[in-house]
Structure 1
Amino acid sequence: MTHSPRFVSAILAWRPTWFLARLLLTSAYILGGLVKLTDWQGTVAEQAHFGMSPPAFWAALTIALELIGPLLILTGRLVWLGAGMLGVFTLLAAFTANAFWTMPAGQERFMATNAFFEHIGLIGGFILVAMIADRKQADA
């Protein structure tokens, strides 16, 4: 087994790194939730654009998920729940907003394909955060 270089181990062991990693992972959701909260009409219109009905309900649910999920992850309380909420939300959003398989070849399909797989990568990040938090709790 090859060990990480000392400086890498030091960075990974540094207590703020765990918080910073979680903040970076959830930052788009925090920003998205705050932007949606301050632009209610735009948020409702976005939900209607994606065919979500009733759009006001889905707008409120989206805002709640985008703010509560990161809060749970960042506070270290019920990390599995926050990560699960954001993971499922992200999967549903990927299929709803980035259905590249329904698009003809071209730039729009290329962009949707990239966005879809970026969302899948985020889901992997949420799984890892939940696993690490679970391990930290078991070791405590």
Structure 2
Amino acid sequence: MIAAPRFVAAILASRPTFFLARVALTSAYLLGGIVKLTDWQGAVAEQAHFGMNPPALWAALTIAVEIVGPVLILTGRLVWLGAGMLGVFTLLAAFVANDFWTMQGQERFMATNAFFEHLGLVGGFVLVAIVSLQRAHRDA
């Protein structure tokens, strides 16, 4: 294995880099939760569109996950829980919103791409939980 150059290792090991990476990973969820919170009717309509019943309950749960998960990850408190919440949510959303196996043509192509992007985000949440745990052990 080839080691990273020192300046790269220093950047990757820094607290600001780790924080900015967590901001990047969670930003869409935090923004989505805030937008849904300020547009309750739109949030309920979105859940109804995906067949979630009762849609108001699912909208409230979605808002809670999209706000609480990022806050836990960004504050460094219970990162495993925040990452788990967002990872499970993202995996479920991938199956509900991107059921490419039921589609044809361009729609299938787009949904397949979105499905695997969601899987990549799930991997990102697993990694942030692992790195947070390793950093906590190192700092202890």
Q: Percent identity?
A: 76
Residues in 1 aligned to 2:15 and 2:49: alpha-carbon distance in whole angstroms: 43
SS at match of 1:3: coil
**CA distance in structure 1 between the aligned counterparts of 2:75 and 2:131, rounded to whole angstroms:** 14
Which deviates the most, 125-134 or 11-20?
11-20
Alignment-derived partner of residue 81 in structure 1 = 81
| C-alpha distance after superposition, 1:23-44 (max 9, x if no partner) | 0000110111111111110110
Distance in 2 (alpha carbons) for counterparts of 1:57 and 1:14? 40
Deviation string for 1:55-102 (max 9, x for gaps)? 000000000000000000000000000000000000000000000001
Give the number of aligned pairs: 139
2:125 matched residue in structure 1: 126
User: How far apart are residue 2 of structure 1 and its match?
Assistant: 1.1
Distance 1:11 1:139 in 2: 17
2:134 corresponds to = 135
| Per-residue deviation, 1:11 | 1.2
- Equivalent residue for 1:96? 96
**Other structure's SS at 1:4 match:** coil
Alignment of 1:1-140 (within 5 A): 1-104=1-104, 106-140=105-139
* TM norm structure 1: 0.97
* In structure 2, distance between residues paired with 1:100 and 1:7: 42
Structure 2: how far apart are the matches of 1:71 and 1:125? 16
Q: Which amino acid aligns with 2:127?
A: L
Counterparts of 1:40 and 1:73, CA distance in 2: 25
Distance in 2 separating the partners of 1:81 and 1:67? 13
